[in-house]
Amino acid sequence: MKDVPGELLSDDTTGLEDIEAGVSRAAEALRRQQREDGHWVFELEADATIPAEYILLRQHLAEPDAPELETKLGNYLRRIQGEHGGWPLFHGGAFDISASVKAYFALKMIGDSPDAPHMQRARAAILAHGGAARANVFTRILLALYGELSWRHVPTIPVEMILLPRWFPVHIGRMSYWARTVLVPLLVLQAMRVRARNPRGVRIQELFLRGRVPARRARTHQHPGWALFFNGIDGGLKVAEPLWPRKLRRQAIERCVAFVTERLNGEDGLGAIYPAMANAVMMYDALGYPEDHPDRAIARRSIEKLLVIREDEAYCQPCVSPVWDTALTAHAMMEVGGEVAESTVPRALDWLKPLQELEVRGDWAEQRPHVRPGGWAFQYRNAHYPDLDDTAVVVMAMDRARTQFGLGRAYDEAVARGAEWTTGLQSSNGGWGAFDVDNTHYYLNNIPFADHGALLDPPTSDVSARCVGMLAQLGETPETSPRMRAALSYLEREQEADGSWFGRWGVNYIYGTWSALLALNAAGLDGTAPSMRRGADWLLSIQNPDGGWGEDCESYSLDYRGYEPAPSTASQTAWALLGLMAAGEVDHPGVARGIEYLRRTQDETGLWQQDAYTGGGFPRVFYLRYHGYPKFFPLWAMARYRNLRRGNARRPAHGM
């Protein structure tokens, strides 16, 4: 790595030559990571909860001991323990009681002594924060499954709710896809008051304070009036539930099993996300399905495919991201151009093409029954739950490749069907959610089960921006397209007072602002448009002295009062640069300093290192470290800068 000053060299030609060298090194490094069948997939890391839950799942089912795997999982959990004694939700983050309770329980389960220094520190931190009873709903459910906590301390959601009509105010169809797939098998576990086998007999009563635990005073997303109403209903349900007819309960359980089995999704798993997959396995187990029953067996195998096992450590991913990784890397490679793009991108798109879902009418069809399927999922397969974000990114990649590589009509049908499905799922406010239409039943975030505040999938700026970029790249203009005008109006309304946009699926306002600026540029706005100018000015105002950009996951705090400085990261720097270039600022000195930051931090492999979590799962609850983000986004930004500086244009010509 070169030690160079923070500004580009005064000789512009020399500076661009150095950038070209950096682009070539990164592109070659990514080419080497492409799989034989043409796709890319990078690790997707969450916090301690998923590997801890994996350990506890094995003991719930009383599976055979796996000492070598447990040793590696333990090494991972100990390494990511925070200096505060507990476990955070993201690298370097604050203590989180739910993650800490699960990690402590898992480590004790695999043999760590409660008297070990790291366990003593964890226990002290947990007790100092009110003990295990203060954990979130999902953690308390796990504790109830193990008999560490009474089911009375868990919100009651009767399994019979699966039988309610769609118009009923509290219905699974009104929840997000992830809540739906996690909740349905969980309804069965709760109805049956399932108890984990726990063959080792490990308990964690030492994590509970004696006596009454004071009520929390932390700010919550829940409205006091609605919360009081739903808490009252919860109390009534706890009294009434034992009196409900057994026949109705059996019918409800059967409906839940049918729901799960229909969406089992082969070895990619229910919803293709760990919590739903684990709940499905436990549901089948509770209902007496033997280990070799096809449904239970394939559900269990799907979880093993999430493991990342190294020489000394192992962890379990929350899901995998091959479609997302492949489509975004293809965009970066097309920006690079030349032989490296020609040798990688068509292969990547050929891999993506058959993954388009053209047959299954997923849960989204309940709201849009007349729309034909045509989307892509985030994972390898997830037929019932394709998403708008991935679909828009894939469509833009295929559309760009048609021209760039002279591919004729090879992707015409895929592009058309993807665009048709995307436009068919536009919400009534002009924006797009990730998986569903008009999933805006905000009162549901007040039910006791929704203490995480992530029960819904409303339209968001980042996903909407991707869809706008796709439509614009395919030729739609606000002058001729009412849906484009509605979408642009939505983005204008969502812009914050300081000029930024909120980022739901990436951290955070840098991600949202990058997304919006690319979309507005694609739709024909230039850097003089007020929204573009304010967005660009905001990005420039938060640039770090080292030339990069950074933003912490704490920016999702409910009492957010504006940007707080954070260390620069490669991925967030790339987003900021791509956003500024979309706003016509390629010649701004701040952009040059940002490019130099990327060039200076490129390592000997040709790529970039980043421990920070810059991916969003659920704000304030669950964050993601995309291992691919510091690989392809910086390459994309550097290649675009090179192209714009060498060409006649000063703004990108594509939707992304």
Rg over alpha carbons for the chain, rounded to the nearest Å, is 25
Within 8 A by CB and 6+ apart from 54, the residues are: 73, 274, 278, 303, 307, 316
CA gap 373, 391 in Å, rounded: 11
CA gap 394, 276 in Å, rounded: 26
Closest CA to 15 of 27, 31, 2: 2
CA gap 322, 378 in Å, rounded: 7
Closest CA to 98 of 612, 620, 617: 620
Dihedral sign from CA coordinates of 470, 263, 326, 342: negative
Q: Are 541 and 604 in contact (CB under 8 A)?
A: no
Q: Are 373 and 361 in contact (CB under 8 A)?
A: yes
Give the CA diameter of the chain. 82
Phi, psi of 312 (to 5 degrees): -115, -15
The gap from C-alpha 432 to its chain's centroid, in whole angstroms, comes to 16
Q: Mind giving me the DSSP string for 376-388?
A: B-SSS--TT--BH
Q: Is 11 annotated in the active site?
A: no
Q: Give me 362's structure tokens.
A: 């997923």
Which is the catalytic residue, given 389, 399, 438, 451?
389
Q: Are 473 and 481 in contact (CB under 8 A)?
A: no
DSSP letter (8 states) at residue 652 = -
Closest CA to 352 of 377, 389, 320, 385: 377
Residue 618 bridge partners (DSSP): 622
CA gap 272, 390 in Å, rounded: 15
Within 8 A by CB and 6+ apart from 64, the residues are: none
Q: Give me 635's structure tokens.
A: 């390459």
Phi, psi of 426 (to 5 degrees): -70, 135
CA gap 175, 170 in Å, rounded: 9
Q: Are 626 and 321 in contact (CB under 8 A)?
A: yes
Q: Give me 48's structure tokens.
A: 């301690």
The gap from C-alpha 116 to its chain's centroid, in whole angstroms, comes to 34
DSSP letter (8 states) at residue 373 = P
Q: How far is CA 603 from CA 25, 142, 598, 639, in A?
A: 10, 42, 10, 17
Please identify every residue annotated as catalytic: 389
